């Protein structure tokens, strides 16, 4: 409760929450909010402008853009949470093992992390996706497998600072097993910075998924995604401005919301920064 109170009192975090809460509600209650079936074409209303019946207009098949943007929020949030969850799991395992055991294990893991960080992440994703069948699950797995390196370094640094603390040394002196020391004493005290990285990472994952879908190798039509809606928009931008405006704003505000929330959480978790805000 104290963490929630401090988060709400922080201006950046509060603005981020105000932006993100409607996005969550849209994703959860998409069938209720959407006035039309996002997959149902209407040949009588092709590229119709915004109106009372179609607040965001229609696309090249007469489908309601508002409904597609609302359902697209489900795809974006799913990709963001699942891919970041995969990255966090891998990063925590490698970071904890590397930092706690040190020695040759630490050296091997950190050189592998350095090698992974040498590759441009987006081009690595493009290369892998090109070899696989484009699907939302492949995208989530690939994004997760290419975004764990910074998390592992962060966890390793926290574990290195924790394993010399008195409470860890006392646990070792009492004969506790290494697994108990790691999961009961080290990891709970080292994981706080991961919340900040994860929040910022969700915004990055949403941008990556949108870019892949825009290029045609992400979420495949007719499944609505903010990225593949923009793909249609580029071919009709002169006659149907609404196709690019509304999904573009959805991406912008969602990513900005996660970035603001992440920056706010960084101050909340860091006492040195907390009193400067």
pLDDT tens-digit map of 151-185: 999 999 988 888 878 888 888 888 888 888 888 88
Longest dimension (CA), the chain: 77
Domain-embedded: residue 58: no
Does residue 134 register a pLDDT over 80?
no
Confidence grade of residue 73 (pLDDT, cut at 50, 70, 90):
very high
Does residue 68 register a pLDDT over 90?
yes
Residue 159 belongs to a domain with what CATH number? 1.10.3720.10
Domain-embedded: residue 182: yes
The owner of tokens 């359902």 is 71
Confidence grade of residue 118 (pLDDT, cut at 50, 70, 90):
confident
Does residue 89 register a pLDDT over 90?
yes
How far apart, in whole angstroms, are the C-alpha atoms of residue 206 and residue 53?
29
pLDDT at 273: 53
Domain-embedded: residue 110: yes
pLDDT at 6: 75
> How buried is 46 (Cβ within 10 angstroms: 0-12 exposed, 13-18 middle, 19+ buried)?
middle
Q: How far is CA 72 from CA 66, 98, 247, in A?
A: 10, 39, 9
Domain-embedded: residue 223: yes
How far apart, in whole angstroms, are the C-alpha atoms of residue 193 and residue 172?
25
Domain-embedded: residue 149: yes
Domain-embedded: residue 234: yes
How far apart, in whole angstroms, are the C-alpha atoms of residue 218 and residue 208?
9
Confidence grade of residue 10 (pLDDT, cut at 50, 70, 90):
confident
Does residue 109 register a pLDDT over 80?
yes
Residues in the chain: 277
Cβ proximity of 123 and 63 under 8 Å: no
Q: What is the pLDDT of residues 219-245, one digit of tens each?
A: 888 888 998 899 888 888 888 899 999
How far apart, in whole angstroms, are the C-alpha atoms of residue 44 and residue 42?
5
When pLDDT is averaged across residues 249-261 and rounded to a whole number, the result is 93
Which DSSP symbol is given to 220? P
Domain-embedded: residue 79: yes
Reduced to 3 states (helix: H, G, I; strand: E, B; else coil), residue 266 is helix
Domain-embedded: residue 35: no
Domain limits for position 223? 64-274
Q: Please state, as a whole number, how many other Cβ atoms lie within 10 Å of the Cβ of residue 206.
A: 27
Please tell me the total count of domains within the chain. 1
Of 121 and 103, more confident: 103
CA dihedral 46, 48, 51, 56 (to 10 degrees): 80
- Among the residue ranges 88-97, 107-116, 266-275, the one predicted with the least confidence is 266-275
pLDDT at 275: 46
pLDDT at 70: 94
């Amino acid at each position: 409760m104290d963490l929630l109170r401090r988060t709400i009192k922080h201006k950046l975090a509060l603005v981020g929450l105000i932006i993100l809460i409607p996005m969550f509600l849209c994703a959860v209650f998409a069938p209720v909010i959407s006035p039309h079936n996002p997959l149902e074409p209407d040949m009588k209303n092709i590229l119709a402008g915004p109106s009372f019946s179609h607040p965001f207009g229609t696309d090249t098949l007469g489908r309601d853009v508002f409904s597609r943007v609302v359902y697209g929020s489900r795809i974006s949030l799913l990709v963001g949470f699942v891919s970041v969850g995969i990255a966090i799991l891998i990063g925590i395992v490698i970071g904890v093992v590397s930092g706690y055991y040190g020695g040759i294990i630490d050296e091997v893991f950190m050189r592998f992390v350095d090698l992974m960080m040498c590759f441009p992440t987006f081009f690595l994703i493009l290369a892998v996706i090109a070899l696989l069948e484009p699907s939302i699950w492949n995208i989530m797995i690939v994004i997760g497998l290419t975004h764990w390196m910074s998390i592992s370094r962060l966890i390793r640094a926290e574990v290195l600072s924790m394993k010399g603390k008195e409470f860890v040394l006392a646990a070792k002196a009492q004969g506790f097993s290494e697994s108990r020391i790691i999961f009961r004493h080290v990891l709970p005290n080292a994981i706080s910075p991961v919340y900040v990285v994860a929040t910022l990472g969700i915004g990055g994952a949403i941008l990556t998924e949108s870019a892949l879908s825009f290029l045609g190798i992400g979420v495949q039509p007719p499944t609505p995604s903010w990225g593949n809606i923009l793909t249609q928009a580029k071919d009709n931008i002169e006659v149907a401005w609404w196709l690019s405006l509304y999904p573009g704003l959805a991406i912008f505000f969602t990513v900005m919301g996660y970035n603001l929330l992440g920056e706010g959480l960084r101050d909340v978790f860091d006492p040195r920064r907390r009193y400067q805000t």
